[in-house]
A and B are shown apart, each in its own frame.
Chain A
Amino acid sequence: MNAIKSLDDLQKIRDAALAKRKLGETSGSKQVIVGMGTCGIAAGARETMKSVLDFIEANNLENVVVTQTGCIGLCEQEPIMQVVMPGQEKVTYGKVDAEVAKKIMKEHVTDGKVVQGNVITI
Chain B
Amino acid sequence: MKIKRSMVLVSSDPHSLDKGAEAVYQRFSEELKAFDLSDEISLSKISDMERSDVAPFVIVYPEATVYGPVTPDDVHFLVEEHLFKGRIATRLQAPTKELTGKIAWLSARSGTLPAEQRIVLERAGVIDPDSIEDYIVHDGYQALGKVLTGMSPTDVIELLKQSGLKGRGGAGFPTGSKWQFVAGTKSEKKYVICNADESEPGTFKDRLILEGDPHSIIEAMTIAAYAVGADEGYLYIRGEYALAQARLLKAILQAKQMGFLGENIFNSGFNFELHVHGGAGAYVCGEETALIESIEGKRGEPRPRPPYPTTNGLWDKPTLVNNVETLANVPPIIRNGAAWFKSFGTPTSPGTKVYTIMGNVNLTGLIEVPMGITLREVITIYARGMKDGKQLKLAQTGGSSGSIIPARLQDTPMDYDSYAKAGVSMGSGALLICNEDTCVVDLAKVLLNFFRFESCGKCNPCRIGNQRAFQILTNISEGLGSMNDIDALQDISKWLFEMSNCGLGQTAGSPIKDILNHFREEVEAHIQQKECPAGVCAMSGKSTQTV
Contact of A70 among B105, B107, B212, B367 (CB under 8 A): B212
When A5-B267, A6-B149 are in contact, do A37 and B136 touch as well, CB less than 8 Å? no
B14 proximal to A (CB < 8 A): no
Q: Are B124 and A5 touching (Cβ within 8 A)?
A: no
In the complex, what residue of chain A is closest to B108 when comparing beta carbons?
Answer: A121
When A14-B136, A73-B366 are in contact, do A90 and B260 touch as well, CB less than 8 Å? no
When A10-B145, A35-B125, A37-B211 are in contact, do A74 and B365 touch as well, CB less than 8 Å? yes
Of residues 236 through 269 on chain B, the ones whose CB sits less than 8 Å from some CB of chain A are 241, 243-244, 257-260, 262, 266-267
Q: Are B128 and A7 touching (Cβ within 8 A)?
A: no
B127 proximal to A (CB < 8 A): yes
B177 proximal to A (CB < 8 A): no
Min distance, Cβ A43 to any Cβ of chain B, angstroms: 12
Most buried by B among A14, A18, A122: A122
Q: How far is the CA of A84 from the CA of B516 in the complex (A)?
A: 53
Q: Are A74 and B243 touching (Cβ within 8 A)?
A: no
Q: How far is the CA of A122 from the CA of B103 in the complex (A)?
A: 12
Query: Chain B residues with Cβ under 8 A from A73's Cβ?
Result: 103-105, 121, 124-125, 208, 365-368
Query: Chain A residues with Cβ under 8 A from B262's Cβ?
Result: 3
Q: How far is the CA of A41 from the CA of B208 in the complex (A)?
A: 13
Of residues 104 through 136 on chain B, the ones whose CB sits less than 8 Å from some CB of chain A are 104-109, 121, 124-131, 133-134, 136
Q: How far is the CA of A4 from the CA of B254 in the complex (A)?
A: 12
Contact of B129 among A18, A41, A70, A121 (CB under 8 A): A70
Q: Are B109 and A122 touching (Cβ within 8 A)?
A: yes
Q: How far is the CA of A27 from the CA of B259 in the complex (A)?
A: 32
Q: Are A5 and B266 touching (Cβ within 8 A)?
A: yes
**Number of cross-chain contacts by CB at 8 Å:** 118
Q: Are A18 and B208 touching (Cβ within 8 A)?
A: no
Query: Chain B residues with Cβ under 8 A from A7's Cβ?
Result: 142, 145-146, 149, 266
A72 proximal to B (CB < 8 A): yes
Contact of A71 among B103, B208, B364 (CB under 8 A): B208
A17-48, CB under 8 A of B: which get 1 and which 0? 11001000000000000010111010000000
Of residues 127 through 161 on chain B, the ones whose CB sits less than 8 Å from some CB of chain A are 127-131, 133-134, 136-137, 141-142, 145-146, 149
Q: Are B125 and A13 touching (Cβ within 8 A)?
A: no
A63 proximal to B (CB < 8 A): no
Min distance, Cβ B201 to any Cβ of chain A, angstroms: 15
Min distance, Cβ B369 to any Cβ of chain A, angstroms: 11
Q: Are B259 and A4 touching (Cβ within 8 A)?
A: yes
Query: Chain A residues with Cβ under 8 A from B137's Cβ?
Result: 14, 17-18, 21
Total A residues in contact with B, Cβ cutoff 8 Å: 33
Contact of B211 among A14, A18, A70, A121 (CB under 8 A): A70
Contact of B136 among A6, A17, A69, A74 (CB under 8 A): A17
When A75-B365, A76-B364 are in contact, do A6 and B124 touch as well, CB less than 8 Å? no
A120 proximal to B (CB < 8 A): yes
A1 proximal to B (CB < 8 A): yes
In the complex, what residue of chain B is closest to A90 when comparing beta carbons?
Answer: B107
Q: How far is the CA of A92 from the CA of B384 in the complex (A)?
A: 19
Q: How far is the CA of A33 from the CA of B476 in the complex (A)?
A: 52
Q: Are B213 and A70 touching (Cβ within 8 A)?
A: yes
When A69-B125, A73-B104, A122-B109 are in contact, do A37 and B266 touch as well, CB less than 8 Å? no
B363 proximal to A (CB < 8 A): yes
Most buried by A among B125, B243, B364: B125
B207 proximal to A (CB < 8 A): yes
In the complex, what residue of chain B is closest to A18 when comparing beta carbons?
Answer: B137
Q: How far is the CA of A71 from the CA of B141 in the complex (A)?
A: 22
Q: How far is the CA of A37 from the CA of B206 in the complex (A)?
A: 12
Q: How far is the CA of A5 from the CA of B212 in the complex (A)?
A: 26
Contact of A13 among B106, B130, B133 (CB under 8 A): B133
Q: How far is the CA of A70 from the CA of B128 in the complex (A)?
A: 7
Min distance, Cβ B318 to any Cβ of chain A, angstroms: 29
Query: Chain A residues with Cβ under 8 A from B368's Cβ?
Result: 73
In the complex, what residue of chain B is closest to A1 when comparing beta carbons?
Answer: B257
Query: Chain B residues with Cβ under 8 A from A70's Cβ?
Result: 124-125, 127, 129, 208, 211-213
When A1-B258, A17-B137, A74-B104 are in contact, do A69 and B126 touch as well, CB less than 8 Å? yes
Most buried by B among A1, A37, A90, A120: A37
In the complex, what residue of chain A is closest to B209 when comparing beta carbons?
Answer: A70
Q: How far is the CA of A14 from the CA of B134 in the complex (A)?
A: 9
Q: How far is the CA of A120 from the CA of B363 in the complex (A)?
A: 12
**Can you name 15 A-B pairs with beta carbons within 8 Å?**
A6-B267, A7-B142, A13-B258, A17-B133, A37-B212, A38-B244, A41-B243, A70-B211, A72-B105, A73-B105, A73-B125, A73-B365, A73-B368, A74-B365, A122-B108
**Besides A3-B257, A69-B124, A74-B104, 8 new A-B residue pairs in contact (Cβ under 8 A), listed by A number:** A6-B266, A7-B146, A14-B137, A67-B131, A69-B126, A74-B363, A77-B365, A92-B107
Question: Considering the complex of A and B, which 6 residue pairs feature the smallest CB-CB distances, nearest first?
Answer: A70-B212, A73-B104, A3-B259, A72-B125, A74-B105, A73-B366
Please give the residue numbers on chain B whose beta carbons come within 8 Å of chain A beta carbons, in ascending order.
Answer: 103-109, 121, 124-131, 133-134, 136-137, 141-142, 145-146, 149, 204, 207-208, 211-213, 241, 243-244, 257-260, 262, 266-267, 363-368, 384
